[in-house]
Amino acid sequence: MELIQQIRDKARKLLEEGAVEGVIGYERASDGVTSRPLFAYDPSATERLIFDETCAHNLVKYLLDKKGKKMAVVVKPCDSRAINLLLNERQIERDKVFIIGVGCPGMVETSWNHKSETLQAKCRSCQLFKPLVYDFLAGGEIERQAEEETYSDITEAETESVATRREFWLEQFGRCIRCYACRQVCPGCYCPVCFAERLEPLWVGIRIAPEENELWQTIRTFHLAGRCIGCNECERVCPVGIPLSLLNRKLEKDVKELFAFQAGLDPEEQPPFATFKKEEKLEFGE
Amino acid sequence: MSVEYQPKVIGFLCNWCSYAGADMAGTSRMGYPQNIRIIRVPCSGRVDPLFVVKCFQRGADGVLVSGCHPGDCHYTEGNYHTRRRFALLREFLDYLGIAKERLRVEWISASEGQRFAELVSDFTAELARLGPRSKI
């Protein structure tokens, strides 16, 4: 395919010229159906690069491990918001990253050795078809139709009674095994010491209890308020299938309504919690 | 004999206005419910949402976060940040099943002892009406 060949050629050229130390992209997983991240440091490895509708991983996360190194990375439109987020928070340097952008046809649901025909929920309402930021766009622009993001599932939950919502989330959090995969995969979670690992004070206790899971999930999500870029990787990697997008998108919706802000669209815009307006009218306060 | 339900209330009061306001209520000998446990913080901006969630996790029925009136912050702008943060947190906790009535954010100045006493009475009464939080 032309798109894949363009990615391979570009990656090979960058490595051969020594413009970057490595290329982060996708390769076919050993099941022959799905894909996995590939770190290519040798020009010959670029022949393994691929791109298709199974490449859901947000590779921008890996840039945090490669700080100070010049890296090239394959970036989908939604992942490009993560680039903007990390630029905004001064976690990566623009001139240290070469962005190989790809137009995105939408990602499908996958499991080991299997890919379905249906698009992931986040892709159905995604309005980005082209990365917001890139140095090289492989495969040109893509035309496709997308539904409007209506937050209908969120507004529906909002009409339920508080007790019903409590019951729902208790059941969800009861299943959490606190493997912290949601944190490890998140491009916005990069604190050197996470509050969940602090011992003094011990914010998240070590016992196996829904209370501790609830605290963890509440604060994890709240730390991403106005920062979550909606790649939905947390939900994808959750081994017990907690619908984390219901939490992240609730905050995304409220931040949009209260502060008219969406994360990752502009690397120079002030995030909502870094600023304020004296005259703004919120729910309380005169 | 059944013991009447007494809600547990945690109050985060800023050192410069609200704590002084509570002190004012005390020195003026105004009565208010003993359900509130006061924690003094340098500024309402010091109150991490984590503190509030932790309070609820450990069995608080209600949490009050109180600071200087907007514009009067001792550190100029701490309470503006509090306002943004807690506007969002209240919505979010409500969504997770902790009714937004249980988290109050109020502005109380050092001279508003009366207002503080009324607020605590009112808040405690409301929490008593809501009843104990379903234990998680």
Q: Tell me the per-residue pLDDT of A98-114, one tens digit each, with 9 for 90 and over.
A: 999 999 889 999 999 99
A269 and A171 co-located in one domain? yes
Structural domain contains residue B136: no
Residue B88: list chain A partners with CB under 8 A. Answer: 222, 225, 251, 254-255, 258
Q: How many angstroms separate the first and last alpha carbons of chain A?
A: 61
A222, pLDDT greater than 90: yes
Question: Do A163 and B97 lie within an 8 Å CB cutoff?
Answer: yes
Q: What is the pTM of this model?
A: 0.92
Closest approach of A118 to chain B, Cα-based (Å): 29
Residue of chain B whose Cα is closest to the Cα of A202: B54
A79 and A201 co-located in one domain? no
State the best of A244, A246, A252, A284 to mutate against chain B, taking most chain B CBs within 10 Å.
Answer: A284
**AA letter at B114:** Q
> DSSP 3-state assignment of A177?
coil
Per the document, the length of chain A is: 286
Structural domain contains residue A146: no
Structural domain contains residue A147: no
> Domain count of chain A?
2
A185 and A214 co-located in one domain? yes
> Domain count of chain B?
1
Predicted local distance difference test score (pLDDT) of residue A59? 97
Predicted local distance difference test score (pLDDT) of residue A61? 96
Structural domain contains residue A284: no
Burial pattern A152-174, b for ≥16 Cβ within 10 A else e, equals eebeebeeeebeebbebbbebbe
Which residue is it, tokens 């060949």? Answer: A5
**Omega of the bond leading into A43 within 30 degrees of 0 (cis):** no
Structural domain contains residue B63: yes
pLDDT, average across residues A148-166: 91
Could you say which of B57, B80, B95 has the minimum Cβ distance to residue A276? Answer: B80
Among candidates A198, A285, A50, A240, which has minimal Cα distance to B86?
Answer: A285
% residues pLDDT > 70 (chain B):
96
Confidence of residue B136 (pLDDT cuts 50, 70, 90): very low
Structural domain contains residue B19: yes
Confidence of residue A172 (pLDDT cuts 50, 70, 90): very high
A193 and A230 co-located in one domain? yes
For residues A64 and A60, give the distance between their C-alpha atoms in angstroms, rounded to a whole number: 8
B1, pLDDT greater than 80: no
A132 and A12 co-located in one domain? yes
Of the three residues A116, A138, A160, the one that is the final residue of a domain is A138
Look up the CATH number of the domain holding residue B85: 3.40.50
**Three-state secondary structure string covering chain B:** CCCCCCCCEEEEEECCCHHHHHHHHHHCCCCCCCCEEEEEECCHHHCCHHHHHHHHHCCCCEEEEEECCCCCCCCCCHHHHHHHHHHHHHHHHHHHCCCHHHEEEEECCCCCHHHHHHHHHHHHHHHHHHCCCCCC
Question: Do A282 and B83 lie within an 8 Å CB cutoff?
Answer: yes
A88 and A173 co-located in one domain? no
Residue A196 near chain B (CB below 8 Å): no
Total Cβ atoms within 10 A of residue A177: 12
ipTM of this predicted complex? 0.92
A127 and A251 co-located in one domain? no
Q: Tell me the per-residue pLDDT of B46-57, one tens digit each, with 9 for 90 and over.
A: 999 999 999 999
Structural domain contains residue B22: yes
Q: Average pLDDT of chain A?
A: 93
Confidence of residue A55 (pLDDT cuts 50, 70, 90): very high
Question: Do A203 and B80 lie within an 8 Å CB cutoff?
Answer: no
Q: Tell me the per-residue pLDDT of A10-42, one tens digit each, with 9 for 90 and over.
A: 999 999 999 999 999 999 999 999 999 999 999
For residues A172 and A14, give the distance between their C-alpha atoms in angstroms, rounded to a whole number: 46
Structural domain contains residue A144: no
Residue B89: list chain A partners with CB under 8 A. Answer: 222
Q: Average pLDDT of chain B?
A: 94
Residue B60: list chain A partners with CB under 8 A. Answer: none
Beta pairing partners, A75: A101
Give me the domain span that covers residue B69.
9-130
Residue of chain A whose Cα is closest to the Cα of B50: A219
Residue of chain B whose Cα is closest to the Cα of A154: B95
A159, pLDDT greater than 90: yes
Residue B98 near chain A (CB below 8 Å): yes
A10 and A93 co-located in one domain? yes
A220, pLDDT greater than 80: yes
A193, pLDDT greater than 80: yes
Predicted local distance difference test score (pLDDT) of residue B102? 96
For residues A230 and A249, give the distance between their C-alpha atoms in angstroms, rounded to a whole number: 8
Give me the domain span that covers residue A125.
2-138
* CA-based torsion, A117, A120, A123, A129: positive or negative: negative
A11 and A132 co-located in one domain? yes
What are the residues whose beta carbons fall under 8 Å from the beta carbon of B91, sequence distance 6 or more? A250, A254, B100
Residue A258: list chain B partners with CB under 8 A. Answer: 84, 87-88
* Tokens encoding A42: 């040798």
Structural domain contains residue A281: no
On the CB side of B41, CA atoms within 13 Å amount to: 23
**Residue A65 burial (10 A CB sphere; 0-12, 13-18, 19+):** exposed
State the best of A218, A220, A281 to mutate against chain B, taking most chain B CBs within 10 Å.
Answer: A218
Question: Residue B116 to residues A143, A144, B19: CA-CA distances in angstroms?
Answer: 60, 58, 10
pLDDT, average across residues A255-262: 94
A114 and A59 co-located in one domain? yes
Structural domain contains residue A282: no
A286, pLDDT greater than 70: no
A170 and A246 co-located in one domain? yes
Could you say which of B54, B81, B92 has the minimum Cβ distance to residue A276? Answer: B81
A285, pLDDT greater than 60: no
For residues A214 and B136, is the Cβ–Cβ distance under 8 A?
yes
Of the three residues A138, A163, A191, the one that is the final residue of a domain is A138
Of the three residues A105, A138, A171, the one that is the final residue of a domain is A138
A264 and A175 co-located in one domain? yes
Predicted local distance difference test score (pLDDT) of residue A281? 83
